[in-house]
Structure 1
Amino acid sequence: MRSSKRSAGNGQMQTTKRGLILFMETKASYSIVQSSRALHIFRELIKYLPDTYLMLQKNERDEVVLDNLIQVEPIIPIAGKLTLLKGILFRLQMSLKVFHFLISKKIDYVIIRGYDCIVLYPFLRLLNTKIYYDFHGKYHLELYQRKRILRGHIAKFSERVLLRNSDKILVVSPGIKAQIGEYAHKCIYLPNGVDVDKIVSSSSECPLDIPEDKKVIGFIGNWEQVMKIDDICDSIDYLKDVVVVIVGQGYDYKRIFEKYGQKENIILTGRLEYSSVLSILKRMDICIVPYNKDFYMSKLKDFFSNRKISEYLAAGKPIVIADIEGIPGYLRENVNYIKYESGNPESLADSVKYLLNDPEQISEMSHNNKILAKEFDWEQIVLKSGILEDL
């Protein structure tokens, strides 16, 4: 019997069901969005399902140490030349590792992410393993927009098979659920959360040398293609006594760095350790979410559920967001954020000046955001999602 129940020490019921969370080709790190999501979901599930395991790519820095965390080191290092081929070989290596693990541990359920997990499906079905697909939107549309047509076709086919054959689908926003309306009956709403206590209690000193009389605006997080970083950088031309700080790296980084890296009152930090990121976040006066209105995701109502927004909320920061349809529906204009016109840095500067000139509204918005953040603590998100009951 693989699923008999026993009484837990805290008076709640636990189950001996065995599970595996698998995010292909993602290193174990709280600084990487995909990995951070996997780690937090894992940390919550293991409280009630102690025979749950998490399998990720090994991080050379060994920054994450958790029981039941399995880090797989690539036989052939992926860095350097031929990264695409090396990535494919690592996926094969990871798949073989998963096959062996499923059989040896007699796994009851898996949570997987990424269209490349399609190679596991026949085997999972053969073993009668329950499949939870962590779905973050139709990736093939993003590939098409980036003119990667062949890969887009492969992703489209894989997503179709994954969605049809998964037992349950984890979705991070109502907008993403609306994309797959035909599968709404098997969707579980599990948005991106945040470790509220960790952000609130962070006490590291800001590593940046910014004069105290300067206001700080900026952005923290991986630069997805949907983020128009130029809006923030160009807004500095219309602002006085303000420093722009952009933390992270990502899409079009080289061009951004060459264009703005030496510009006065702009600081591009690149990727940093999470403790340093939190210290910079605390130093910021206003946080920006510079969505690109021309990107397909931006045109879908209530599409986004970005971790960076949850972090801004937890830190109690006023937020300025580009005026798109995809703004998370849980945010209320003039309560949690104000808008600016996407692609118009002068409009962004005007919104920043509006807030800076109204300390009372900044204080009220900060208060509102700290309250809202409590709803996006990882523990609350997992408990409210219903995934524990489903398992």
Structure 2
Amino acid sequence: MARVALVHDVAGVAKIQAELLRSAGHEVDQFALPDAGAGWNWPLKGVALPFRLAAYLPTINHLRRGKYDIVHIHWLSHGIVGVLSGRKFFAQAHGSDLHLNLNNPVYRWVTRSVLENAASVFYVTPNLKTFLEGYDEKLVYLPNPVDMRGIAAGFTAPTGVAKLLIFTRLDPVKGVEHILPAVETLSGIVDVTALNWGPLAAGYVKRYGRFVDFVPRVPHEQIGPFLQQFDVVIGQMRQGILSLMEIEALAAGRPLVTGVNWDLYRDDPPPVVHATTAREIVDGVQRLKADPPELGRLSREGREWAVRNHSYAHHLQLLESAYFG
């Protein structure tokens, strides 16, 4: 069995990977990187970079001295740790480390250096491949793992449409300006709930509070039972992908209305109701309300799709294949 170093963590993915690898008999060490200054704006962030790099030195030295078979680093700019260690390493891209960081000259240089030196580059959503042109031979699609045991516990398929959940962060990047204008009409059809979460939340609560029950985010371990309360879920409308929240909705057997770019899922299209405008959202919900068999089909096939593409077993299989061939 192999000795693996997992460096940094994003959204708990590295923690899950460590659990999966240990369950398969591998020895795993996890390294957290200091993030002081990471949230600052430029030019202060630039001033902090030399100090952050100095703070990475203990981890770099551990990687140099450690007898690791695999070094796997999350977040592309953090891959500089792998470059400076002189070891073979795998880098994992998560999103903003590509589509935001490539717009900054400093981070762009660091990111390109990491991409050039990495043995393989994992990317977690299919849209990220467009930012990785020129590195095709290194790319490995590694969808985020979802704990099907917790999310799907107590699963029952909906038999009608009475309660609807807007299950996305209230943020422009999620296309919520296309979702919330639908709630006045939707509130005459179903009970509407949304998360009171995101930079637009305060304004939307004030504007749409008559039509929507805005509730706090729930702890991750309660997401499964929380989702089971609803018959239909509305996801993001801008990115064209299924983010973790949309995948969790499918895993919980909740029929999903979301904006999806079918070209990104040609091999295995997700069973969802496609919508990108308020009118399309309302039409989709009305069709589901009028067609209980379709509601049941989407519930069943959505869970199967999530297991097929995002289960722990599938994720471990992809990891070991990339690591060891």
Q: TM-score, normalised by structure 1?
A: 0.69
Change in Cα spacing, 1:327 to 1:180, as seen in structure 2 (3 Å) is closer
Query: Is 2:24 aligned against 1:39?
Result: no
SS state at 1:236 partner: helix
Which residue does 2:204 correspond to in 1?
A: 259
Native 8 Å contact 1:116 1:158 kept in 2:
yes
Name the residue aligned to 1:247: 195
How far apart are 1:316 and its partner, in Å? 0.9
**Structure 1 gap segments, 5+ residues each:** 1-14, 27-33, 58-71, 204-211, 299-303
SS of equivalent residue, structure 2 residue 210: coil
Instruction: State the match for 1:360 in structure 2.
Output: 293
1:166-177 correspondence runs (5 A): 166-177=118-129
Per-residue Cα deviation, 1:89-147 (whole angstroms, up to 9, x for no partner):
8844751331243245333432112243254244221xxx2210102457454468xxx
In the alignment, is residue 380 of structure 1 matched against residue 317 of structure 2? Answer: no
1:310 is the counterpart of 2:310: no
Q: Which residue is equivalent to 2:90?
A: 132
Q: Is the 8 A contact 2:4 2:70 kept in 1?
A: yes
Could you tell me which residue of structure 2 aligns to residue 277 of structure 1? Answer: 223
Structure 2 unaligned spans of 5+: none
State the one-letter code of the partner of 2:312.
Answer: W
Q: Choose between structure 1 and 2: higher strand proportion.
A: 1
For 1:79 and 1:165, locate their aligned partners in 2 and report how far apart those are by CA, in whole Å.
26
Q: What SS does structure 2 have at the residue aligned with 1:97?
A: helix
1:198-213, aligned counterparts within 5 Å?
Answer: 198-201=150-153
- How many angstroms does 1:227 deviate by? 0.7
Q: Which residue of 1 aligns with 2:147?
A: 195
CA distance in 2, matches of 1:322, 1:373: 17
**Letter aligned with residue 246 of structure 2:** I
Number of the residue aligned with 1:117: 78
Aligned mate of 2:6, from 14, 21, 35: 21
Residue aligned with 2:286, SS = helix
Q: 2:93 corresponds to which letter in structure 1?
A: F
Instruction: Indicate the SS of the match to 2:20.
Output: helix
| Count of residue correspondences | 316
Shift in alpha-carbon separation, 1:260–1:247, aligned structure 2, 3 A: closer
Q: CA 1:227–1:213 in structure 2 vs 1: closer, same or farther (change >3 Å)?
A: closer
Match of 1:182, SS? Answer: coil
Question: What secondary structure is seen at the aligned counterpart in 1 of 2:12?
Answer: helix
Cα distance, 1:289 vs structure 2: 2.2
SS in structure 1 of the partner of residue 145 of structure 2: coil
Q: Assess if the C-alpha contact under 8 Å between 1:338 and 1:351 holds in 2.
A: yes
How does the TM-score come out when normalised to structure 2?
0.81
Kept after mapping to 1: 8 A contact 2:70/2:323: no
Distance change (3 Å), C-alpha of 1:174 and 1:275: closer
The 10-residue stretch of structure 1 (114-123 or 360-369) with the greater mean CA deviation from structure 2: 114-123
How has the CA–CA distance of structure 1 residues 249 and 331 changed in structure 2, closer, same or farther, with 3 Å as cutoff? farther
Which one of the candidate residues 235, 258, 262 is aligned to 1:289?
A: 235
The percent of aligned pairs where both chains have the same amino acid is: 18
Partners of 2:99 and 2:108 lie apart in 1 by 8
Greater fraction of residues in helix = 2
State the shift of 1:77 in Å: 10
Amino acid at match of 2:6: I
Q: Is contact 1:172–1:305 with CA below 8 Å preserved after alignment? A: no
CA shift digits 1:140-199 (9 cap, x unpaired):
54468xxxx5xx222222221111110111122454335434322222221112111111
Whether contact under 8 Å (1:219, 1:287) holds in the other structure is yes
Contact 2:179 2:237 in 1 (8 A): no
